[in-house]
Amino acid sequence: MSILLDENSRVLVQGITGQQARTHVSYMIRYGTKVVAGVSPGKAGVVLDGVPVYDSVRTAITKHPVDISVLFVPAPHTKDAALEAIENEIPLVVVLAEGVPHHDAAEIIDRAAKKGVRLIGPNSQGMISPGKAKLGGTGGAEPERLYTHGPVGIISRSGGMGGEIANVLTRRGIGQSTYISIGGDLLIGTAFVPLLRLFEKDPQTKVVVLFGEPGTGHEEEVAKLIHERSLTKPLIALVVGESLEKMPQGMSFGHTSSIIGRGLGSPSRKKRLLREAGVQVVETLSEVAVLVESALAKSS
């Protein structure tokens, strides 16, 4: 199995006629993703890579059942596109754009919660269930070089580092069930804990790897989840960015989520709390593969 995405997921692409979408949608289809429709205002009637394009989400979903909408939409226009998908109650909405204004992101997240829609992102690279389907830029043109089918779930704040983790596992002969890039912005729809709960229920997933960064309290919530004994599967975490703790408080470096204030969100604190909860916290990528291999051997 996998979580959120598989070969049967029916995908709508918003912003399908844009340059990024034209590139990546072809990769998605080639990999096996079932892209059933696209939306681009004013472009109704166009067909791209065999995918029919409509003016609106409402029109598209009257013609095609949809499980997921992925947004290849620039940050200034993301709010309108995301709210359109949410108001039409598409179950899963994936926002790829980086730099979505915080007040826009807050409105999107609030509306999704009220509508019962799961939101991934903003600033998500996408996701992949290896051998089944992929969304967004995850894996690029040749995802099979990084990702293989197997028993390890991956959740990452960073799209690039999520791919690196999958790569070191694949090179060691260890496949993945689903990889999800949750987004590196300060405000995101779905953080680690809800996805860990899904991996906990997934019989294919035996081990989960988490990649964390400075800022926010998402990793701290993971520690709390484990203390509550709501996660039984082995969890391995790599949290980077301790050098930022030496910088003036309140300074952001890279993602806006990297702000550390009064110790909250500091990598050293995250790592300490995770270790106290029983998580195996590593310092290097090479350690991830070693510990995953050991955890899989114990669970077999």
Answer yes or no: 255 catalytic: yes
Helix axis angle, 267-276 relative to 218-227, nearest 10°?
A: 10
Q: What is residue 152's three-state secondary structure?
A: strand
Question: E strand or H helix at 159, and its extent?
Answer: helix 159-171
Q: In this structure, which amino acid lies at residue 93?
A: V
24, 102, 103, 255: the active-site residue: 255
Question: E strand or H helix at 84, and its extent?
Answer: helix 75-87
Q: Which positions ≥6 away from 68 have C-beta within 8 Å?
A: 4, 5, 9, 10, 11, 12, 90, 91, 92, 93, 94, 135
Q: Which positions ≥6 away from 78 have C-beta within 8 Å?
A: 71, 95, 97, 100, 104, 108, 122
Catalytic residues: 255
